[in-house]
Chain A
Amino acid sequence: MGNLKVNYTDVKGVTHNIENADDGVSLMELAKQNGIEGIFGDCGGGCACATCHVYVEGGWFEKVGPPDDIEFAMLDMVADVMKDNSRLGCQIKMNAELDGIAVTVAPTSGF
C-alpha cells in the first residue's frame, strides 16, 4: 500500500482524504476503491465514457495538464457540466508530483 495523498470532494460535497494511494493508480480506480460517490468508471478506465469526470482544483490542474484530444472528445459529450479544469479521473495516474492533489467529482450530465 502506498502513501500518496488525494483529497476528493464527492458529488454530494463531502470531502474524503485518502492517504494510502499507490504510485500509478488512477484517480478513477482509487475513487472506486474508496467508495467516492459520483465516480462510476463504467468503461473500466478506457477513456471512453466520461463517468469518472472530475474538476482538478487549485494549482493542481497545471501539474496534471489538459486532456488530450481523445479525452477532450469524451468530456465534450458532457459539455453541460464541463469546465476549464475538467479531466477524466481514469486518465490521471498518481505519482509523487501529484501527492496531495485535490479534485471535485463533477455532477452527472444534466436532464
Chain B
Amino acid sequence: MATQAEEAKVSERLPLSPEQQALLESGTLTDRAIQARPRPYYAAMRAGDPIHHDKGLNSWLVTRHEDIWAVQSDPITFSVNKGYHEIQARGMHDEFRNYLREHGGGYFPDAIMSDPPYHTRIRKLMENAFTAHRVKELEPRITQVVHDLIASVADRGSCDAVTDISIPITIRIIVEQLGLDPGIEDKISRWSRAVVAQISAMQSRDEMLANAAEIADLQNYIIGKMKERESDPREDMISDLVHAKVTNEDGTVERLTFEEAVSLVRATLIAGNDTTATAIGNLFYVLTTKPGMAELLESIVDDDRKLNRFVEEHMRNEPPVRALSRMCVKQTVVNGTTIPEGAHMLLVYDSGNDDETVFPEPRKFDIERPNLGRHVGFGGGPHRCIGLALARMEIKVAAREIVKQLKNVKLAIPESEITYVPTVATHTIESLPITYDKR
C-alpha cells in the first residue's frame, strides 16, 4: 500500500512534440484506428501525461510501468470488483443483468473479479489447478492437440492463422480440461467474444443485447454440465469446481455457492481461451512481419531455456490483454496525478511493457533481457493471471509445432490490412491469412 512519502514522489514528465501534444488532446482509445495501432498514443501519454484522462472512454489510462505496478499492488484502493462490474455492459447494467436473470439462469457476478479478503479465498481455491508443475504434466496432451491441429492444415499451403489454428487450439484444450462436449467449439468462440465485448465499452444497445443472448446461452450450457457433475463427478475441472471446498483463515470450511461456481466455470472457460488464442495469433503476426523472427525461433526451438525466454519476451512484446479495469474507491494521488473517487481506470499493460525506463529499446525482440519477469503482460499483484503457466505452455507448444511442421510462413495480406477486434480489453487480430510450405 502506498505510503504518504511514496504518494508525494513524482517522476519526471518529458516535453512532447506538437504531434504528440495534439494526439493527447484529440486521441482516444475508443477510436478504432488508435485501438488497432496504439503505440504512438501510448508513447505520448507515457512521456508527458503518464496517467491520462481519456475523454472518449471517460477513463484514466495508467501507462508507465512504475504506476501500473503501484496500482496493481493496492487492490483495496483500486478495486477490480467495481472496475470490472462497472465497465461490464457500461451504461446498460440493469438491462444486461435483467436479461441474464430472465434468459440465462441468473446474473452471476464474477467471483474472481472481486477484492480482498473475499478474492483471497476464491483465488486460493482455484490456484491448485494451475500450478506450473501441474501444467507440466499436461504438456504431452497439449502437444498432441496442437500437433494434430497444425497437421490438419499443413498440406493446404494456406489458412487463416487466427480462425483455423489459434482459436481452435485453445478451445480444444479448454474443452478437454473442463470436460465439455466435443463439437461445442464454434459456440465457445462466439461466447468468448461476447464476454470480452461486454467489457469493451464499445457496444451499441443492440450489440449489448446480442452479446447478452450469447452469454445466456453459455450460462444455460454450463449450468446443465454442472448439474450433471453434482451427482456424477468426473476427472475434470467442472467437477472440481462444483465439489470445491474453501478453507477460511480461521480454519472453517465452506463450499462455493452455486452462483460462485457458475461464475468460475464461466471465467475459466473464457479467460484462458480468448486471451491465449490472441497470444498465438500474435505469434503468427510477429513471425510473418518482424524480420528475423522466424529464423530466431527456428534456431532456439530445441533449447528449453531460450524457448521459455522467447515465450516470455513475446508476452512482453505483444501482450494479448491490452488493459484491464480498476475503480478508484477514494480520491488518491498516484505519481502526481489526482484520481477522483469513483473514477474508472485502465492499467495499460502493453504501454507498461513498452516503458523504455524498464525495458531499453522496447520494440526490439530480445530474449536475453535480464529482467523479463518484470513485464506486466500477465498483470501483477493479487490479480496476476491465474492461468499464466497454462498460457505459457500453450504458446510454447504452439511455437514448437509451428517450426516443426511449417516453413516459409508468410502473411497473405498487406500488414496494413490487418484488422483488430473492436475492444479496449485485448489486442486481438480478427483474421490473419497466411501461406506456408509443409516441412
Contacts and interface: CB of A to CB of B under 8 A. Distances in A.
B136 A70 contact: yes
Interface string A43-68: 11111111100000000000000000
Contact of A77 (B65, B130, B373): B373
Contacts of A49: 373, 378, 384, 388
Contact of B131 (A46, A69, A111): A46
A18 interface: no
Main secondary structure of the interface of B (DSSP, over half): helix
A43 B372 CA distance: 16
A35 to B, nearest CB: 12
Nearest to B129: A46
B131 A45 contact: yes
Given A77-B373, A78-B371, A43 B357 contact: no
Interface in B119-174: 123-124, 127, 130-134, 136
Interface stretch (B279-287, B303-311, B411-419): B303-311
Given A70-B136, A111-B358, A111-B371, A47 B131 contact: yes
B380 interface: yes
A45 B127 CA distance: 8
B309 A110 contact: no
B36 interface: no
A76 B308 contact: yes
B133 A109 contact: no
The bracket for how many chain B residues form the interface is 20 to 34
A78 B388 CA distance: 16
Contacts of B392: 48
Main secondary structure of the interface of A (DSSP, over half): loop
B158 to A, nearest CB: 35
B27 interface: no
Interface string A4-32: 00000000000000000000000000000
A111 B362 CA distance: 13
B131 A48 contact: yes
A110 B370 contact: yes
Contacts of A77: 309, 312, 372-373
Contact of B309 (A40, A43, A76): A76
A69 B304 contact: yes
A108 B374 CA distance: 8
Interface string B207-223: 00000000000000000
Contacts of A43: 127, 384, 386, 388-389
Contacts of B386: 43-44
Given A43-B384, A49-B384, A70 B305 contact: no
Interface string B298-319: 0000001100110010000000
Contacts of A46: 127, 130-134, 389
A69 B131 CA distance: 14
A74 B372 contact: no
B308 A48 contact: no
Nearest to A91: B133
Nearest to A42: B384
A49 B384 CA distance: 9
B136 A76 contact: no
B435 to A, nearest CB: 34
B381 A42 contact: yes
A48 B372 contact: no
Given A46-B134, A48-B392, 18 more contacts: A40-B73, A43-B388, A48-B131, A48-B388, A49-B373, A49-B384, A49-B388, A50-B373, A73-B305, A73-B308, A77-B309, A77-B373, A108-B374, A109-B373, A109-B374, A111-B65, A111-B358, A111-B371
Q: Which 10 A-B pairs have the closest CB atoms?
A: A77-B373, A46-B131, A80-B370, A44-B127, A42-B384, A47-B132, A48-B389, A109-B371, A78-B373, A79-B370
